Structure 1
Amino acid sequence: MNGVDDLDPALLHHIVNTLGWPGLRPLQEEAVPPLLAGEDAVLLAPTAGGKTEAAAFPLLSRMAAEQWTGTSVLYVCPLKALLNNLLPRLETYTSWLGRTAALWHGDVTAGRRRKILTDRPDVLLTTPESLEAMLVSAKVDHAAFFAGLRSIVVDEVHAFAGDDRGWHLLAVLERLQRVVGRPVQRVGLSATVGNPDELLQWLQGSGAGTRPARVVAPHLSGPRPEPGTVPSGDIQLDHVGSVDNAATVIASLHRGEKRLVFCESRRLVEELGEKLRIKGVTTFLSHASLSVDERRRAEQAFAEARDCVIVSTSTLELGIDVGDLDRVIQIDAPATVASFLQRLGRTGRRAGTSRNCLFLALDEGGLLSAAGLLLQWSRGWVEPVVAPPEPRHIAAQQLLALCLQEHRVGDRLWQDEWNGLGPFGRPAAPIVRHLADEGYLDQDGGMLFIGPEAERRFGHRHFMNLTAVFTAPPEFTVLHGRNEIGRTDPELLTEKTDGPRLLLLAGRSWLVTYIDWHRKRCFVEPADGGGKAKWSSVGFDRGVSFALSRAVRDVLLGNDPPVALTKRAERCLAEARGHFLDQVHPGGTLITRSSRGPFKWWTWAGHRTNATLTASLGGVTVPAQRINDCWIRLREDVTPPAWKQTVAEAAGRLCLPEVDERAVKGLKFGEALPSRLAQATLAARLADFDGARAVLDEPVRFVSDRG
């Protein structure tokens, strides 16, 4: 076991004799020196690459050698289900050294929490939201509880970094570091990303550039593949044309095997799940609007079964263990190559098996999206993880949370609480003024504290809403007797219907028998069929990226992804190329006009780039149009000379996209910002200046499409 001699001898004994491992994996070996030395690190490996052990073994060895006391390691995850899944493993590893691990999140009982507070575990598994709830809770002496903290492990760190939960996590870690009074080691565990060095720098927060740090990624350090080399995996692409046909294919293929099917919406999970059950397939469902018990039962039953299917949204994309999978099936395409890699990594874990994924496209658009994504994957491209810019609303939330935590904060000292981390220090001064002006904060004697407006908006249930970074649309709880099945969109309970009101939830139809409008609950009984599923989305749609939109254009120009295409997929792809023959050109972008249609500029540049171009070329684009990934609508009077002049003027002064007021209302804590700052935040997140410049640099052809 070369390279691991510095691990605790008792730990080494159990690795060999209890786990029966002949040695450690390369990632686990290479992680030992930096983690034992207290360095910050990002450990990078594909799904099921042993990242948890790569972090746990050195940190537990250091815990024993340096005689850490109290809760010295925090293990932070984005999902409660992932924490539940990890707890037995970490309890086993800590027990080998006479140490303990425990779980703290929203589903943990009050009695269990009291026990944790009096008998502190050495390793605490939690979420960022629960961590902040501990900081602001009057029942937790956070200074005493976290006094022994030495290291923080952030699992699935890439899942945090790309959205506002990442900013929230960083801010909470900085506040925690202030409570502890010393730097705390940060270790991130991540699947493959396109920019691991930047991800590590992001994770370090205020310590970036001042603390030793490294990326540990043995699978990336070997010789690079030759250009044109296709990554390994048994990947197939089929066009089935409908959900009914997808259910027929899934029911008939791979009988006797365990299959995990990913869908891109909860509604589609429900519809496909119901159709599979009708066909006699043993089917389980998992998505965020099912009750915890319903999801748990489904995941446990699926893990123990053999000939079955579980249909899921991205809730099962991360490292939750659902047993030994045979197949992954993807309906249409995931939003990113990174998601596809996560899902692909669920298979091929048994010796003698390979990673596999079958794509089933429901329509032409789904087929093109899947083909474009697979083309980019074959090129070895993965999205860089980029934190969303200008998180002013998270800064507002953090200021309020800090005042809850400390009760009173000096009106000139608050800036120090985040150790100079980007948006949470001096740049937040206008937000502090607004919070004070609007009554979210009160000021007295040079101190800031929670004001009446914050009490009114966020004070319900001990400010629980203040620690949740995401806005969830209002949903009604669906109950069969005393059993909670899940939650549904209230529109399904209010829209006009002929005959009985039927819901589709947990893959079954239900008859609504009573609605409790005050408590937002509805009661149901089983029905034979005909139920509908629906959920509203929150925020704005960032759409498809520039890179994936351009990959779709490459597919339309004749580039096939190097995967197995069924005859149906080949036929549909040929038809799609015929449909878009006059909208793609290898030499640049096209502006077309049909005899009865508008001018369309076919950019194939993605939603954010097209939103930026629409705003920046206001002299020739139609205002207030619905943005899409492929084209931009132009004014009827546009001419080539006017076009050239507008493009020349715009090249040096690109504009932020316009933001719909409804999107601002969907920004959690946006009401705690001045309206202009809330709009500016969303506009910055909707912009893609690099993509817009790339498109403007390309030649443009005006063509007539008289079809």
Structure 2
Amino acid sequence: MTTGFDLLDPILQHHIVNTLRWPGLRPLQDESAPTIVGGTDAILLAPTAGGKTEAAVFPLLTRMQRERWSGTSVLYVCPLKALLNNLQPRLESYAAWMGRSVATWHGDVTAGGRRRIKAERPDFLLTTPESLESMLVSTGVDPAVVLGDVKAVVVDEVHAFASDDRGWHLLAVLARLEALLGHRFQRIGMSATVGNPEELLDWLQGGSNSAGQVVGPASGEAAPPDITVDSVGTIQSAAKVIAALHAGEKRLVFVDSRRLAEELGAGLRERGITTFVSHSSLSLDERRDSERAFAEARDCVIVATSTLELGIDVGDLDRVIQINAPRTVSSFLQRLGRTGRRDGTSRNCLFLCLGETAVLSTLGMLHCWSLGWVEPVLAPPEPRHIAAQQILALALQTRRVSLGGWRASWGRLPLFGDDGDRVFDHLLEKGFLDHDSGTAFIGPEAEKRFGRRSFMDLLAVFTASPEFRVYAGRQEIGSVDVSVLTDTVDGPRVLLLGGRSWLVTHVDWSRRQVYVEVSNLPGRARWGSMPDDASFRLTRGARAVLLGATPAGVTLTRRATATLGELRTTRATDVSGEGLVVARDGDDWRWWTWAGAKANRTLAAWAPHLIAPRQTFDAESVRLHPDLTGSSIADQIALMRLDEEARRRCPDVDDGALAGLKFSAALPSELARRTLAARQIDVGGALDCCSMGPVLRMGG
């Protein structure tokens, strides 16, 4: 029987056995080879450290040799520059076995490095979607020459792209490159476990009818992971616990905010623990130094946000510690997969919860995980703003766009929907595009809004709050939110960045630069960010825990057990096994939907006569009009499920929210509002609430 190993080039076979000293390929690598060598599109599924990179690269190197590919024939796309930098040395070693080359192109690559890439055209080019589009529109790059030989595209961490507007942007840029070159690429996506891999493959193929295959071999009978939940109250208590446990081991601590990363890092250092910090607002050099030092050390801790979730290699770990709950089961699986890589070690994760709410959300997430549920990856709906961005980017790329045939550059990609012509006409009407002789070109409004720095702002589809860069002498430390520089403080202004305190000595407001020196005073960290809405499934998981469910395979410490007991007592009036509670509390009614913020926002749009106005939507409940009666509430909830006209209503979107949708100015206001509204609703969750009979409770 022919194996995947048998299909690989003999040179690769030799080095796998003699250089890597592998006894054989891993299951994913073995099963992916026939698909990729055969030129078929694929989604490769495996946990962190499951060998996905080799599962894609070894068969592609084999194709490269057999079919005599030349020039830059493989694009390797990642969501993070740090991940590209981390991957390059490993891919260089594999490619060198075959006499092939690898290079990286992103925003930090020097002009000299780019000139070498254009001249030498490496076989593998590692890049981001934004950098790839910059190559398409740059006057200094001829993409038909530099990228003219591309045969395959590898998309690493494809689930991270697909769940975000960067995914639509990536697919659109690939479609434009295929249209320019006149041929389609093989598309290979690599992902951790997801709930809908077939749909993810369809999305990656961008409307193509090409053959595709999901490759995700069943894992063997691995030992169950060691999952423990503790309730510690404060971030300083968490630092105390981490400092006291697992001495001599290498520990990776995940937090879901930069502020917590800084505060925990400082707290651990105060306790004499060798600690490193990694998050997106630290400078590239700071992050690299932390990750390199952590990878080479033993008895130490690195505190990180999700920047270290997506496959960046920081060496073998002994422990993963999670502060509070990650936002998804998928994130938990990614982080859990960081452990148990060495023989004789097992997967593990210790949750340290900062308060009752964190204990409940953590156990709710673990309940979903214990049932085998993982989030489906869903592309954001109705990406009209990305459609507008792409039309303008095409005008930059080609200089002139046909008024009649402009859609051809994206083939069958379902980016424009039924509103593409309205978007295009709006760009013409408002001066984003100018036109004559049957063609359109960049207009004065596009120059005004996006023309700075050679239209670089147009090429990045994500938004980021403006931050001030922090310098100690000439060394850049990172960046901070402006609010930490402007709020009132008693005494000197001291920042917390990189887990260290810095005294502010000067602020250059015009250049957005802060100059600091080392301080022994306690510092402050703050960044503005919008929390993700809690999902329907995870919120219902929390409800199940309150009703008595305990996640299988999870150990609770005495403190966590006590906290859970208190929660089940104090929140007993908010849940019922017979339905969803509608409770009278003073003058108010509250409907305990346990459906997530999006579903609750949807219910408010469907039934403004039932849901009280001007409320902040949380995951657990909504306030109802206070003058309703119990029987009228029950009747209106039942009618809501049957009212098809009401279910077509979407939440109101105010002008302030539009500012958060990048390129919304390039859309008609009504379409921009519809785009945002479509992303704020959960129809399935709302319908579920309507189908569950209300349980009326009077008096709280």
User: What SS does the aligned partner of 1:558 have?
Assistant: coil
Conserved 8 A contact 1:418-1:425: no
Matched, 1:575 2:569: no
Conserved 8 A contact 1:416-1:425: no
Distance, in Å, in 2 between the alignment partners of 1:569 and 1:6 is 52
Residues 347-362 of structure 1: matches in 2 within 5 Å? Answer: 347-362=339-354
Residues 51-90 of structure 1: matches in 2 within 5 Å? Answer: 51-90=52-91
Q: Please state how far the C-alpha of 1:66 moved relative to its aligned partner.
A: 0.5
Q: Please state how far the C-alpha of 1:530 moved relative to its aligned partner.
A: 2.4
Matched, 1:487 2:470: no
Aligned equivalent of 2:22: 21
Matched, 1:177 2:178: yes
Q: Can you list the C-alpha shifts for 1:485-523, whole angstroms capped at 9, x where unaligned?
A: 111111111112222112111111211111111101111
Conserved 8 A contact 1:619-1:646: no
Residues 626-641 of structure 1: matches in 2 within 5 Å? Answer: 626-641=616-631
Distance, in Å, in 1 between the alignment partners of 2:249 and 2:212 is 43
Aligned equivalent of 1:661: 655
Q: Please state how far the C-alpha of 1:425 moved relative to its aligned partner.
A: 6.6
User: What SS does the aligned partner of 1:132 have?
Assistant: helix
Q: Can you list the C-alpha shifts for 1:612-646, whole angstroms capped at 9, x where unaligned?
A: 01221210211121000000011110113432443
Match of 1:289 among 275, 281, 289: 281
Distance, in Å, in 2 between the alignment partners of 1:15 and 1:84 is 23
Q: Can you list the C-alpha shifts for 1:386-415, whole angstroms capped at 9, x where unaligned?
A: 001001111111111110010111111111
Residues 418-429 of structure 1: matches in 2 within 5 Å? Answer: 418-424=410-416, 427-429=419-421
Q: Can you list the C-alpha shifts for 1:75-127, whole angstroms capped at 9, x where unaligned?
A: 00011111111111111111111111111111111101000001100110101
Matched, 1:589 2:590: no
Q: Please state how far the C-alpha of 1:56 moved relative to its aligned partner.
A: 0.5
The amino acid that maps onto 2:628 is V
Q: Please state how far the C-alpha of 1:338 moved relative to its aligned partner.
A: 0.0
Q: Please state how far the C-alpha of 1:532 moved relative to its aligned partner.
A: 1.1
Matched, 1:599 2:600: no
The amino acid that maps onto 1:584 is V
Q: Please state how far the C-alpha of 1:594 moved relative to its aligned partner.
A: 2.2
Conserved 8 A contact 1:45-1:219: no
Distance, in Å, in 1 between the alignment partners of 2:193 and 2:145 is 37
Q: Please state how far the C-alpha of 1:349 moved relative to its aligned partner.
A: 0.2
Conserved 8 A contact 1:72-1:123: yes
Distance, in Å, in 2 between the alignment partners of 1:661 and 1:599 is 30
Matched, 1:400 2:392: yes
Q: Can you list the C-alpha shifts for 1:309-342, whole angstroms capped at 9, x where unaligned?
A: 0001000001000011100000000000000000
Aligned equivalent of 1:219: 218
| Structure 2 segments unaligned to the other structure (5+ residues) | none
Q: Please state how far the C-alpha of 1:647 moved relative to its aligned partner.
A: 2.6
Aligned equivalent of 1:3: 4
Residues 107-122 of structure 1: matches in 2 within 5 Å? Answer: 107-122=108-123
Distance, in Å, in 2 between the alignment partners of 1:105 and 1:71 is 16
User: What SS does the aligned partner of 1:531 have?
Assistant: coil
The amino acid that maps onto 2:590 is K
Distance, in Å, in 2 between the alignment partners of 1:616 and 1:544 is 20
Conserved 8 A contact 1:549-1:606: yes
Q: Please state how far the C-alpha of 1:426 moved relative to its aligned partner.
A: 5.9
The amino acid that maps onto 1:667 is L
Classify 1:660/1:274 alpha carbon distance in 2 versus 1 (closer, same or farther; 3 Å): farther
Match of 1:535 among 524, 527, 544: 527
Conserved 8 A contact 2:56-2:154: yes
The amino acid that maps onto 2:682 is D
Conserved 8 A contact 2:265-2:277: yes
Q: Please state how far the C-alpha of 1:598 moved relative to its aligned partner.
A: 2.0
The amino acid that maps onto 2:176 is R
Aligned equivalent of 1:526: 518
Question: Over aligned residue pairs, what C-alpha RMSD do you find?
Answer: 1.4
User: What SS does the aligned partner of 1:686 have?
Assistant: coil
Conserved 8 A contact 1:149-1:184: yes
Conserved 8 A contact 2:229-2:560: yes
Match of 1:240 among 221, 232, 255: 232
Runs of 4 or more consecutive aligned structure 1 residues displaced over 3 Å after TM superposition: 424-427
Matched, 1:187 2:177: no
User: What SS does the aligned partner of 2:470 have?
Assistant: strand
| Structure 1 segments unaligned to the other structure (5+ residues) | none
User: What SS does the aligned partner of 1:206 have?
Assistant: coil
Conserved 8 A contact 2:223-2:346: no
Please, what TM-score do these two structures have when normalized by structure 1? 0.96
The amino acid that maps onto 2:564 is L
Residues 277-676 of structure 1: matches in 2 within 5 Å? Answer: 277-424=269-416, 427-537=419-529, 541-562=531-552, 563-595=554-586, 598-651=588-641, 652=643, 653-654=646-647, 655-676=649-670
Conserved 8 A contact 1:418-1:424: no
Conserved 8 A contact 2:206-2:412: no
The amino acid that maps onto 1:345 is G
Distance, in Å, in 2 between the alignment partners of 1:481 and 1:238 is 42
User: What SS does the aligned partner of 2:567 have?
Assistant: helix
Out of 26-35 and 417-426, give the one that drifted further.
417-426
Q: Please state how far the C-alpha of 1:203 moved relative to its aligned partner.
A: 0.4
Distance, in Å, in 1 between the alignment partners of 2:694 and 2:417 is 45
Aligned equivalent of 1:705: 699
Matched, 1:679 2:679: no
Aligned equivalent of 1:693: 687
Conserved 8 A contact 2:309-2:335: yes
User: What SS does the aligned partner of 2:545 have?
Assistant: helix
Conserved 8 A contact 1:396-1:673: yes
User: What SS does the aligned partner of 1:421 have?
Assistant: coil
Q: Can you list the C-alpha shifts for 1:438-468, whole angstroms capped at 9, x where unaligned?
A: 1111111111111111111111111111111
Distance, in Å, in 1 between the alignment partners of 2:665 and 2:247 is 52
Q: Please state how far the C-alpha of 1:675 moved relative to its aligned partner.
A: 1.6
Q: Can you list the C-alpha shifts for 1:517-564, whole angstroms capped at 9, x where unaligned?
A: 1101111111212211111125xx541110000000000001111211
Q: Please state how far the C-alpha of 1:420 moved relative to its aligned partner.
A: 2.4
Out of 306-315 and 670-679, give the one that drifted further.
670-679
Out of 614-623 and 100-109, give the one that drifted further.
614-623
Classify 1:145/1:457 alpha carbon distance in 2 versus 1 (closer, same or farther; 3 Å): same
The amino acid that maps onto 1:52 is T
The amino acid that maps onto 1:133 is S
User: What SS does the aligned partner of 1:135 have?
Assistant: helix
User: What SS does the aligned partner of 1:424 have?
Assistant: coil
Residues 29-44 of structure 1: matches in 2 within 5 Å? Answer: 29-44=30-45
User: What SS does the aligned partner of 2:583 have?
Assistant: strand
Distance, in Å, in 1 between the alignment partners of 2:160 and 2:624 is 37
Please, what TM-score do these two structures have when normalized by structure 2? 0.97
User: What SS does the aligned partner of 1:259 have?
Assistant: strand
Distance, in Å, in 2 between the alignment partners of 1:427 and 1:185 is 29
Distance, in Å, in 1 between the alignment partners of 2:650 and 2:257 is 29
Distance, in Å, in 1 between the alignment partners of 2:425 and 2:315 is 53
Distance, in Å, in 2 between the alignment partners of 1:590 and 1:132 is 51
Classify 1:425/1:174 alpha carbon distance in 2 versus 1 (closer, same or farther; 3 Å): farther
